[in-house]
């Protein structure tokens, strides 16, 4: 049975930016961040009306993601697909 996303610790790039606005320039210059004992790469994409959007790069598949997860049984932050995680709601949809 797959592990549920709701049971994992998560690190969301948007929540991180909101919580460290004063540190944002420093984070953008480094393009890396340490979280839960792991060094994570950060990348950006341009927005239509200026500015740029921050993304994590999944350490496994190197895809841009907004959220990385750490399941209770593993000690590494990866994207949802690399951890093979599923949402609780998807289980209910199969029961109907």
**Residue appearing with tokens 């999944």:** 58
Split at pLDDT 50, 70, 90, the class of 94 is: low
- Total domains, the chain: 1
What are 75's strand-pairing partners?
A: none
Of 11, 37, 13, which Cα lies nearest the Cα of 27?
Answer: 13
- Reduce the DSSP state of residue 58 to 3 states and report it: coil
pLDDT of residue 80: 94
Q: Which residues face 11 on adjacent strands?
A: 68
| Residue range of the domain that includes 80 | 5-95
Give the pLDDT score at 65.
Answer: 95
């Amino acid at each position: 049975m797959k592990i549920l996303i709701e049971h994992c610790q998560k690190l969301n790039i948007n929540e991180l930016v909101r919580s460290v606005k004063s540190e944002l320039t420093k984070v953008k210059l480094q393009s890396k961040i340490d979280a839960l004992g792991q060094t994570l790469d950060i990348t950006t994409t341009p927005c239509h009306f200026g500015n740029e959007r921050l993304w994590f790069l999944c350490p496994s598949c190197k895809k841009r993601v907004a959220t990385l997860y750490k399941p209770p049984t593993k000690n590494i932050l990866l994207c949802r697909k690399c951890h093979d995680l599923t949402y609780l709601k998807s289980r209910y949809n199969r029961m109907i």
